Every structure is written in C-alpha cells, then in structure tokens.
Copies of this chain bind each other. A is one copy, B any other.
Amino acid sequence: MARVVVDVMPKPEILDPQGKAVTGALGRLGFSGISVRQGKRFELELEGEATPERLAEVEKAAETLLANTVIETFTVRVEADEPAAAEVKA
C-alpha cells in the first residue's frame, strides 16, 4: 500500500470566500496577523506501489475529479510512512 496526498487549493487570483470567512473569524477570536486560504486534502491509499505509472494515474484522477482545474491547482506527492519531523501532531 502506498499513500499519496493530493492537495487542492484555489488559484491565487480566484476569490476564496471560505478563506476570507476563516480569516475574519480568527481575527474576531483574537488571532491577529493571520490570513488564511482554504483548500482540500485527499489521502489516497493505492493498492501496490506508487510507481510512476500509478502516479500518472493519480494525476489524471486529480485532474478529472478531485480538482476543478479552471479555478483550482493541485499537487500530488507520495507521503513517507512517518509524518515529517516538523509536524506537530495533536
């Protein structure tokens, strides 16, 4: 099993109402100096290994279904088994 993460974010030039709403709410909650953009994270469990062919297939799936490429960009990355050291797990 391989885990591949697809992160989908609104294009920078596209209005991000959700991000704006979260930014405003954080300000009202007293968290100042933080601006937020909100997107989607997909964790894909692939049967078998993350071969280049499988990654190309994942990219096709992202283009077809996971992201609306008119207004969103996406990145595909294979996730190592352990989370990166800098992560703060809650």
Contacts and interface: CB of A to CB of B under 8 A. Distances in A.
A42 B86 CA distance: 17
Interface in A36-89: 36-48, 55, 57-67, 69, 73-78, 83-84, 86-89
Oligomeric state, in copies:
2
- Tell me which of A29, A60, A75 has the highest count of chain B C-beta atoms within 10 A of its own C-beta: A75
A86 to B, nearest CB: 5
Contacts of A14: none
A22 B44 CA distance: 10
Interface of A: 7-9, 22, 25-26, 29, 31, 33-48, 55, 57-67, 69, 73-78, 83-84, 86-90
